[in-house]
Amino acid sequence: MSKAEAILTAAQMRAAEQAVFATGVPEYELMERAGAAAAEIVWRAGGKRDLLVLCGPGNNGGDGFVIARLLRARGVPVRVAALGESLTPSSLKARACWAGPVEDIFSAAPATQIVDALFGTGLSRGLDPVLADRLCALTASAGFSYAVDLPSGVDTDSGALLSAVPAFGICVALGAFKSAHLLQPSANCWQRLICADIGIDVSAATVHRLSPPPMFPPKPLDHKYSRGLVAVVGGEMAGAGQLASHAAAHSGAGMVRHIARDLVGGGPDAIITQKADGAGDVGRLLNDARFKAVLVGPGLGLDQDATARLEAAMVSGHPLVLDADALTLLAGKGVDAIPAGAILTPHEGEFVRLFGDLPGSKIDRALEAARRADAILIYKGSDSVIAAPDGRAMIASGSSAWLSTAGTGDVLAGLVAGRLAVTGDRYRAACEALWLHGEAARRAGAAFVADDLLVELPAAIASRL
């Protein structure tokens, strides 16, 4: 990945902060850095508009006092309203450095700008409803609103909203992204997300935000087989297999064979469609050592014939991408039935059918499932998580919600198979395919259908060469 942006849990963030303190940086110095970084963002966005800073009892509140002090020094009319006393050594110090009055949150007048520095990664339960309502009312009446680290009420690790959370203009993630910055529903609580560097070392992180991947053109001596031969095993619903084949064909792979149950026209003639009357034909057509990826699942069906076609793909020995009906068929057989080394692309329903109700955040669930299945997972949704059995994970957040239309999953599955054939690297293929999918959707604009993503793929790939 070109620019890996780390995503930490609350506990990992605390450990990373401790590592900074161990180098001799005092705790209060980190709070000054955090407050200064956030103050700069507020200054650039809101200038000298009047500002109300809401400060909680912990270090998030301490950041708030630093922000208030620094912006006041720049001539911003700043007021501070606190929720009781400050309780941590650093927040006490930050409060002592604030020369102005401290108002009560429930009686403070609204302002044009509001900073929420009530709670951050230390939040352990939802805000009292009266406080949450007050935060929502003050934020809604402000023209400019900023959440320091996280909006108060958001659970850092899961992204759950533990109490009512208002919509913010900007969320300033301090030091590193936390899971809630990328996961739903919390990732929908602001218009802009900015990560402020405060000198935290995140090099050991294993979970990252998906960034635009570097991709490479074919080499001069490449030919269609060296660039990757893909098979898409279709079934009952021919259109799904077609969509997946077309996506694979536009992914950079050298050749795509669509092993279909029924022959239907349409689509690029470059795709070789082969009719397979049953699982025997599928097995025979897959008997070619040059296949670098086999996709099965889109439109496969759930009957005996579908089961047999799936088995033929699974015994072929080729690298597998399993989607849609293939996942549903396997779910009935338990996790042990999932072939090790495959790439699985479940949506929420398929995930639960396969792995049950696993605990933890979507990242935790994806990682546990990848470990149990010994597979790469793309756990889809508006916050798609790629997880590997070795503990690596990647989150794609902010994709176009217009993707919530039939067939876009088939396109993604085809892209995964295509990139797997090109790269031979399952994790990399999953990352490249998911990024291309999101980028194609961005380029397609609004109200597109899955087919419209296909024409955007060449330009999306070209943008990464």
Ligand X SMILES: NC(=O)C1=CN([C@@H]2O[C@H](COP(=O)(O)OP(=O)(O)OC[C@H]3O[C@@H](n4cnc5c(N)ncnc54)[C@H](O)[C@@H]3O)[C@@H](O)[C@H]2O)[C@@H](O)CC1
Ligand Y SMILES: Nc1ncnc2c1ncn2[C@@H]1O[C@H](COP(=O)(O)OP(=O)(O)O)[C@@H](O)[C@H]1O
Binding site members for AMP: 380-384, 409
Q: Which of 230, 175, 178 is nearest to 209 (CA)?
A: 178
Residue 275 in the binding site for ligand X (CB under 6 A): no
Q: How many residues sit in the footprint of ligand Y (CB under 6 A)?
A: 18
Q: Which does 116 bind (CB under 5 to 8 A by kind): K ion, ligand Y, ligand X, none?
A: K ion
The neighbour count for residue 24, using CB atoms within 10 Å, is: 7
Q: Helix, strand, coil % (nearest 5) of the chain?
A: 40, 20, 40
- CA 458 vs CA 87, 206, 252: distances in Å: 56, 30, 8
Nearer to ligand Y, 121 or 328 (CB): 328
Minimum distance between the CB of residue 50 and K ion, rounded to whole angstroms? 20
Q: How many residues sit in the footprint of ligand X (CB under 6 A)?
A: 27
Alpha helices in 210-278 (DSSP H): 238-249
Minimum distance between the CB of residue 53 and K ion, rounded to whole angstroms? 11
Annotated binding site for K(+): 60, 116, 152
Contact 409, 244 (CB under 8 A): no
Residue nearest to ligand Y (CB): 409
Task: Give one DSSP letter per residue of 25-70, joined into a string.
Answer: --HHHHHHHHHHHHHHHHHHHHTTS-EEEEE-SSHHHHHHHHHHHH
Site for K ion in 418-437 (CB under 5 A): none
Contact 375, 263 (CB under 8 A): no
Minimum distance between the CB of residue 409 and ligand Y, rounded to whole angstroms? 2
Nearer to ligand Y, 112 or 382 (CB): 382
Contact 363, 387 (CB under 8 A): yes
Q: Which of 149, 155, 350, 452 binds ligand X (CB under 6 A)?
A: 149
Q: Which does 30 bind (CB under 5 to 8 A by kind): ligand X, K ion, ligand Y, none?
A: ligand X
Nearer to ligand Y, 195 or 453 (CB): 453
* Coil, helix or strand at residue 273: strand
CA atoms within 13 A on the CB side of 114: 27
Nearer to ligand Y, 287 or 404 (CB): 404
Q: Which of 383, 394, 8 is nearest to 188 (CA)?
A: 383
Q: Which of 6, 30, 324, 386 binds ligand X (CB under 6 A)?
A: 30
Minimum distance between the CB of residue 154 and K ion, rounded to whole angstroms? 8
Q: Which of 8, 80, 120, 456 binds ligand X (CB under 6 A)?
A: 120
Minimum distance between the CB of residue 128 and ligand Y, rounded to whole angstroms? 32
For residue 354 the two structure tokens come to 């396969």
- CA 194 vs CA 118, 177, 234, 291, 412: distances in Å: 18, 9, 43, 43, 28
Annotated binding site for (6S)-NADPHX: 59-63, 120-126, 149, 240, 299, 347, 410
Q: Which of 17, 383, 432, 456 binds ligand X (CB under 6 A)?
A: 17
Minimum distance between the CB of residue 187 and K ion, rounded to whole angstroms? 15
Helix (H) or strand (E) run with residue 195 in it: strand 190-196
Minimum distance between the CB of residue 69 and ligand X, rounded to whole angstroms? 14
- 23-31, 205-213, 309-317, 380-388 -> range binding ligand X (CB under 6 A): 23-31
Q: Which of 16, 52, 123, 260 binds ligand X (CB under 6 A)?
A: 123
Site for ligand Y in 388-427 (CB under 6 A): 399-401, 403-404, 406-410, 412
- 121-129, 294-302, 396-404, 412-420 -> range binding ligand X (CB under 6 A): 121-129
For residue 94 the two structure tokens come to 């930050």
Helix (H) or strand (E) run with residue 395 in it: strand 393-397
Q: Which residues contact 290 (CB under 8 A, 6 or more apart)?
A: 225, 229
Residue 148 in the binding site for K ion (CB under 5 A): yes
Contact code string over 41-80 relative to ligand X, x by CB under 6 A: ---------------xxxxxxxx-----------------
Q: Which does 382 bind (CB under 5 to 8 A by kind): K ion, ligand X, ligand Y, none?
A: ligand Y
Task: Classify the phi-psi angles of 324: left when phi > 0, otherwise alpha if psi is within -120 to 50, otherwise beta.
Answer: left
Contact 238, 262 (CB under 8 A): yes
* Coil, helix or strand at residue 210: coil
214 cis-preceded (ω within 30 degrees of 0): no
Contact code string over 346-375 relative to ligand Y, x by CB under 6 A: -x----------------------------
Minimum distance between the CB of residue 74 and ligand X, rounded to whole angstroms? 20
At residue 418's C-alpha, the angle toward residues 422 and 368, to 5°, is 100
Binding site for ligand Y (CB under 6 A): 324, 347, 380-382, 384, 399-401, 403-404, 406-410, 412, 437
Binding site for ligand X (CB under 6 A): 17, 27, 30-31, 34, 56-63, 88, 90, 119-127, 148-149, 174
